[in-house]
Chains A and B, each alone.
Chain A
């Protein structure tokens, strides 16, 4: 095929970087405002009673009340759906509420989920302790135990949930294989892709049916706003079996509507909004949606810098005498290195875990003596963040429990920022110097 011929058959739909800036928004419908306006309002005028009825009956698209939808939030939803290759999205007040809403849209009391054991701590609590209160039980499976996901599926299992790269152990789940297992069982795969963002991986391309994000992290980048989102892939056939009656039969909870029949590839999002937002109400504020949109505009340039800094950091840590071990999927002897190359071709992310010689005391000294890196309980800020789980988030755990959670006394978790790498390295040098003389420094 000649170049010229090839050109004519290439679709000219906008690509990732362009969508990050433009998807979901048309200035000419918004007074020509180039920037997305912040619709700081709770409610929207109806033209007449017919219009009001039409909106409530889902006859027409539009906004009624900002708990259900808001024009600024809708731009964010479309933008993330576009970036993920999804059909639809629903933004929420936080990542946790996106996960909760996903589960509540999918499951009823008596249902069961198969869940990866390496998840963000808050998510583990939700699945282990809170969902059982609603009659939803979970079986945890180690992310690398691909066949374990299959074995754990029961008659009443309604889905599989995981993070592609588990935290903090950096264990990868074989997403395409687990997706096959889920689909063979007629259930959807849900992936929390907070750590990857669609710049590094689009789970829908690898078989995921629903993607959730804490937008609080890399997607926003600035660490100023809480936000979450669920994105629908649109491929999952809810009508293939009778496991999802609230999606496929006239549903009493919404005027006898059958979401799957009426909305097909966007049915899950429509139900999550119509029922979940109406009844639970974890809506995102328009101001926070706007803040997140500002971050997404620069997603790919930031992620490139996050990943290149992370790679430099891995190299630095590997050659540092104070460091006992380094865990990052870019390291060739990482057990999932090959899978990471396949699923994360644009970069392996900016979360690194490493062990420091000298155990807990050395870890504490390191944390106390870095000045540029921020010591806090968050990830995915543009600034470099560090935490020593054994003395902070997980300080109540004994040795054995730490081990079960994939942690150790000497572990430092690092979210590499986009500062000049020289400055981060110099800061770490000071931290390591102090860690080599822990008592002396901590007495200062």
Chain B
């Protein structure tokens, strides 16, 4: 569906069901240079089970208008504006990679609006490899190829997509190349590299939080994810074996199972 935030058109997938304001809202926030499409194996479940779902395209990404936001802080405020723009007071947030930085910062800045956080492949800080950052800022497609290489675990490199016929690495690559790389990936990587408030924000978070980490994640290793989770009061950690950073596709079913349990317990649909 399309709607406007600060006069700029935003696209969000509603998971294949009409957006219904009577249902609790879950917002999915994608990683650097990617789009709403990365969430297809998680969003549809919630949309078909009593929730309103928005898998967003960040400004300047995917099918959304506007320019890419330059800092994690701006993105965090933008998420809060999205919640208001669609007529809600509160939401649960799910993020992947850069999306984790965004939702932690959002919960820190707008604590009343955010009910739960689900962090996939998250960390308190994501300092960028300088070569990767420079390739992305110089609009070099090699940045995408490198990201796809590092983002997939050893098993993910072979494929074996849960949806028959899809090939992971090329699909992810095509998403990241769908707009001008320096304006999406380049801006996002720089925003990640600049962001320093993750650990401080984590200490202030008092809402139920789940961290899903993957044993073969080279971009946000388990150790980093745990370091962040340790700072969040009562947070829950689940580790997925034999899987890389793109866990939401590589091991979509396992991710959905853990996420489902967490959301249904901590952000249940109220039965009338």
Contact = CB atoms under 8 A, between A and B. Distances in A.
A255 B174 contact: no
A262 B131 contact: no
Interface in A9-28: 9, 11-14, 22-26, 28
B48 A81 contact: no
A152 interface: no
A9 B45 contact: no
A11 B162 contact: no
A264 interface: yes
B157 interface: yes
A273 interface: yes
A98 to B, nearest CB: 13
Interface stretch (B88-96, B100-108, B142-150, B188-196): B142-150
Interface stretch (A53-61, A310-318, A327-335): A53-61
B162 A60 contact: yes
Contacts of B41: 59-61
Given A263-B37, A266-B166, A25 B160 contact: yes
A25 B158 contact: yes
A21 to B, nearest CB: 10
B175 interface: yes
Contacts of B159: 23-26, 78-79, 82
Interface in B20-43: 35, 37, 40-41
Nearest to B12: A261
Interface of B: 13, 16, 35, 37, 40-41, 44-45, 48, 62-63, 131-132, 135, 142, 145-146, 148-149, 152, 155, 157-167, 169-171, 174-175, 177-178, 242, 252-253, 256
13 contacts: A9-B146, A11-B146, A11-B149, A60-B41, A61-B166, A78-B161, A86-B170, A88-B166, A89-B165, A239-B63, A264-B35, A273-B164, A273-B165
A131 interface: no
Q: Size band of the A side of the interface?
A: 35 or more
A56 to B, nearest CB: 10
Counting chain B CB atoms within 10 Å of each CB, the highest count among A14, A25, A256, A261 belongs to: A261
A155 interface: no
Contact of B164 (A8, A53, A74, A86): A74
A308 interface: no
Contacts of A78: 159-161, 165-167
B48 A59 contact: yes
A269 interface: yes
